[in-house]
Structure 1
């Protein structure tokens, strides 16, 4: 479903965490074993949806016969009150799956929704929004999927799919030029990107063979100077403390990319609920 992510294992572990050893004792105590249930998942605020297929798997794991009609697609802008999914199935099973399904859907849609706001803020500029590795351990694949649904492009998924020399690498290696030279000599076959936090480091990095520069914590005026100095020789990425209210000015400096950790690290969950609609008489209702 999502490349690099074991959906079955995730659903199993999430449900085990929620059900514990005794299962959903409340539903078992209040609802007949054969009772059936119809419900809708609805957005309670305007959102960009992500994770619908994943949410559906929680209900299927609890009731193989559940009938699911998805009414929206990941990446779509959904207004408050619009239904995302209709469900019909065993009442106990659906209520037992509800929280795990909603937690996942709310979290991923929160990432997609915040990401879309950043994308819209730089619309009309040349800049492309990137995500980062600032993700919850174990959830990177689905969080980066949600960022894509919001309109961002994925940066590195893992440490092995790109050389990115950060300030601590530079410090240990003995300087920007030394770090880049060592990385190029390693001949990994990967693009070598290096972080620079001062204008003075740019020519040193380029002379050593850097393929791309990460301009760290530079204000828009400094970024403009960097863009002019580099003059298109390599792609430029701005990063560090980027916020919704500052990203437009950063984009207008002329950089090619802007990476924003907060779209995965700090996105608030959106409000999505599951509302009872009717009690179906059978599987075909």
Structure 2
């Protein structure tokens, strides 16, 4: 439940995050020409950005976060890769040997994949975002993110900041993967993010928590409706146990109610036809009941 609530918070955070960068883009980096303007409107990486990123990737070293810095300023608003790299490097000393090995191998894997895949994909922003998501996931899983997180849960939790979830989509992808790394990691991250959310948004987080819990609450079970087949089985079981006992009055009333309650008096032939149909369905075991009911109806006619 907590992980699901956190997922709702992240979704809302991503929605809110789309506004601030969008407001600042045109003011701080106005399009330089019609080509750049049209490419932004179509959701494509501009030709100028593409050339700049490719040139940056060629010159970036294999060590450090230079490759990720190439993606910080672009018209597709793909940010956060450099911040994740810097966060891992700044906290590497707090990890154990396994965690340090993961940081080195995962960052190297991501940098290598970015450098080789960027020139092979479309300039469409959704394609670039999907490429970034896929290579992050592949590198994190390949080098066992969950094993490093389970052995270094406290450090991982310290690295997650609520404000980054509002601004950087790759950061959200990382946290979503961490939430699959076992109950201990999931609960620690969820608690930390909820506390930070309340510190930043105050009572709004409580409202969101209440709303999501109400949405996630399982619906109350509807009134029990036994299928007709189950009722028939129960009826046969009851008759088998009862043997030659007389049927209860309630069973006759139920039978009459099923006929539609057409009136307090009904034609005896109709009852007889109904009883004959019931006898055919019950077989020889129901003959004694049929005879008893016939005697009762004869008493009624008198």
Q: Does TM, scored on the shorter chain, surpass 0.5?
A: no
Q: Pick the structure with more helix per residue.
A: 2
The TM-score, its normalising length taken from structure 2, stands at 0.21
Structure with higher strand content: 1
Q: Structure 1-normalised TM-score?
A: 0.22
Larger Rg: 2
Higher relative contact order (CA 8 A, sep 6+): 1
